[in-house]
Amino acid sequence: MGAQLRIYRRRMRSVKATKKITKAMELISASRIVKAQQKVSASSPYARELTRAVTAVASYSNVNHPLTTESEKPIRAAVLIITADRGMAGAYSNAAIKEGDQLIELLKARGLSVNTYLVGRKAVNFYRFRNRKIANSWTGFSDNPTYKNAKAVSDELIKVFIADAQTDPNGVDELHIVYTEFVSMITQNPQAKRMLPLEVVESTATTGLLPMYEFEPNAGEVLNALLPRYIEARVFNAMLQSAASEHAARRRAMKSATDNADELIKSLTRLANAARQAEITQEISEIVGGADALASANAGSE
């Protein structure tokens, strides 16, 4: 019984050490998620107003701009998948990768080939382990993205979209993004949306007479200036949403791990107490048995 008791105590020490780590990670994620939520709230007004401006130009001008005109015969699409750099966040990264796989299957069903762009080491490792082709990848900033990171990703995506897909093997006709939308501390939903060609997100249509717009110097120049900023804003907002979702998922996963550690410690404590009680009982039985044997031996000698 002594060996069994030592095993239980050793496991208890190990679980308690693990509990300290998971509790610390839970507290760190809880503190970071507040800042991530504030960044999401701060970026939303800019993205919303920029969306309205781009929608107005796209809706009330007759310009044939490459970023707003769909290809008659699309042959290739680009998919940007945003995941985490680190693990211990439950099914957060797996859910985004699964959503990306479903989107890729839909695009292939339409007869399109797909170039995949990845953000986060989890997606990169997932694709490399399965020997899947990666057009480009970015890592190291999933939990705290900056506008500079979003611009680097957006510049690459806009470049391949503007390129002629018929002649350039890197050129694409459509651009899609997969990220995790932060709804609340409990709910985070993976989303797959098309960014280019431009989809009207907010309708500016009104009843009656339509408003008159004048563009200086012209609508094409306005779109050239607005649409890259529009893509950057959407990518940045998606990164911020994903970062907040990552922290929320990690906090929830670490809280669950801490609670499980508590339950395991209680279970091991009961087993250790039972083993200790059994050891004490055995020692008492041995003492009593030895005393009886000694008494019997003394009685026989007399």
pLDDT at site 137: 95
Beta-carbon-side half-sphere exposure of residue 77 (alpha carbons within 13 Å): 26
Q: How far apart are the first and last CA of the chain?
A: 38
Please write down the long-range contacts of 160-169, taking CB distance under 8 Å and 24 or more positions apart. 160/78, 160/115, 160/135, 161/66, 161/67, 161/78, 161/196, 162/66, 162/67, 165/71, 165/74, 165/75, 165/76, 166/75
pLDDT at site 284: 84
Q: How far apart are CA 203 and CA 122, in angstroms?
A: 36
Rg (CA), the chain: 31
Domain covering 59-202+213-246, topology: Pyruvate Kinase; Chain: A, domain 1 (3.40.1380)
| Cα 215 from chain centre | 40
At how many degrees (to 10) do helices 219-301 and 147-162 cross?
120
pLDDT at site 24: 92
| Bridge partners for 136 per DSSP | 117
Q: Profile the chain (302 residues) by mean pLDDT over runs of 10 residues.
A: 80 91 90 86 79 70 68 89 92 94 94 94 95 94 91 92 83 92 88 79 46 67 79 91 93 92 91 84 81 74 60
Please write down the long-range contacts of 145-151, taking CB distance under 8 Å and 24 or more positions apart. 145/236, 145/239, 145/240, 145/243, 147/232, 147/236, 149/239, 150/232, 150/235, 150/236, 150/239, 151/232
pLDDT at site 63: 66
Q: How far apart are CA 126 and CA 123, in angstroms?
A: 5
Q: pLDDT, tens digit, for every residue of 159-180?
A: 898 888 888 888 898 999 999 9
pTM for the whole structure = 0.82
Contact predicate 72/109, CB 8 Å: no
pLDDT at site 67: 67
Is the alpha carbon torsion for 228, 230, 233, 238 positive or negative?
A: negative
